[in-house]
A and B are shown apart, each in its own frame.
Chain A
Amino acid sequence: AQSVTQLGSHVSVSEGALVLLRCNYSSSVPPYLFWYVQYPNQGLQLLLKYTSAATLVKGINGFEAEFKKSETSFHLTKPSAHMSDAAEYFCAVSSSYNQGGKLIFGQGTELSVKP
């Protein structure tokens, strides 16, 4: 079975500050890992994904995440927050075995950016 835990349902940072959104996963098989962003009244958009290549993954809008197998973590970071980063962020896991690729999502973290 697979699961995802996102620590902190709400994170608030100042504009220009570091963004750190935490994600820990549980998986009995090698995982694929994803971060999606959801802006208000919009669909989910992929930020980045890990599929067993480089452990440091760079995504869109300056975000990146590092896969740490020993810590079962895939935390999302951005060096300098922008007001436009305010949104809901979801971490998700799927199996790298041939199980169709269904995603198991965390509960989400709402990011607020203060001016």
Chain B
Amino acid sequence: GAGVSQTPSNKVTEKGKYVELRCDPISGHTALYWYRQSLGQGPEFLIYFQGTGAADDSGLPNDRFFAVRPEGSVSTLKIQRTERGDSAVYLCASSFTGQGDTQYFGPGTRLTVL
């Protein structure tokens, strides 16, 4: 079956602009995660959804970052007033229920802020 998909695969924007990154999880997975991977680093947790609600947003770096999952499936990560330091690969993962389940990762969106 289809895996986790993310669009766009690459996004180049200018400092100060607004961007949206989309994640389409595996069908039937209730848990959805966003991570950020900077060059040469391991992924860092941003936010976790269980169904439609953000169950843990402790990894969001500041209030410029926001994510939604209105129907419990597709999720959008939104970044306002982008900064050069936001440049990274944004990874999305989904799992069947969450706790201890295997997380399946998408290919990521590479965000470059000029």
Contact = CB atoms under 8 A, between A and B. Distances in A.
Interface in B26-61: 31, 33, 35, 40-45, 48, 50, 55-56, 59
Contact of B59 (A43, A49, A90, A102): A102
B42 A99 contact: no
Interface string A79-102: 000000000001010101011111
Contact of B108 (A43, A45, A90, A100): A43
Interface residues of B, number: 30
Q: Which among B93, B98, B103 has the greatest number of chain A C-beta atoms within 10 A?
A: B103
Interface stretch (A11-19, A64-72, A105-113): A105-113
B112 to A, nearest CB: 15
Given A46-B102, A49-B102, A51-B100, A101 B42 contact: no
A43 B91 contact: yes
Contact of B95 (A4, A42, A101, A105): A101
Interface string B1-35: 00110000000000000000000000000010101
A100 B100 contact: no
Nearest to B47: A102
B106 A43 contact: yes
Query: Looking at chain A, what size class is its interface with the partner chain?
Result: 20 to 34
Contacts of A102: 33, 45, 48, 56, 59
Given A102-B45, A103-B43, A107-B42, A32 B98 contact: no
A100 B44 contact: no
A36 B101 CA distance: 14
A106 B40 CA distance: 11
Interface of A: 4, 32, 36, 42-46, 49, 51, 90, 92, 94, 96, 98-108
Interface of B: 3-4, 31, 33, 35, 40-45, 48, 50, 55-56, 59, 91, 93, 95, 98-108
